[in-house]
Amino acid sequence: PTGNLDPETTREILTLMHGLTTSGCSVIMATHDHASMEEFPGKILKCEDGKVLLVEKTYESE
């Protein structure tokens, strides 16, 4: 959701999405930016060729 956005707008979008997750909403997002997803509470599903390879909890959801 943040491809080709300037850094300030990227921060705003990620802050908004983080707020949604911490308020109890589910957020489904497809991204190649793995580092930014580590900050979100919940789970990360890693997929390749249409198959789920790994499901892991982020540090905030442990």
- Asked if residue 62 has pLDDT above 60, the reply is no
Is the pTM value of this prediction over 0.85? no
Number of domains in the chain: 1
Residue 1 included in any domain: no
Residues in the chain, overall count: 62
Residue 12 included in any domain: yes
pLDDT at 51: 93
Residue 2 included in any domain: no
Domain containing 42: what range? 7-61
Residue 14 included in any domain: yes
DSSP string, the chain: --TT--HHHHHHHHHHHHHHHHTT-------S-HHHHTTSSSEEEEEETTEEEEEEE-GGG-
pLDDT at 46: 87
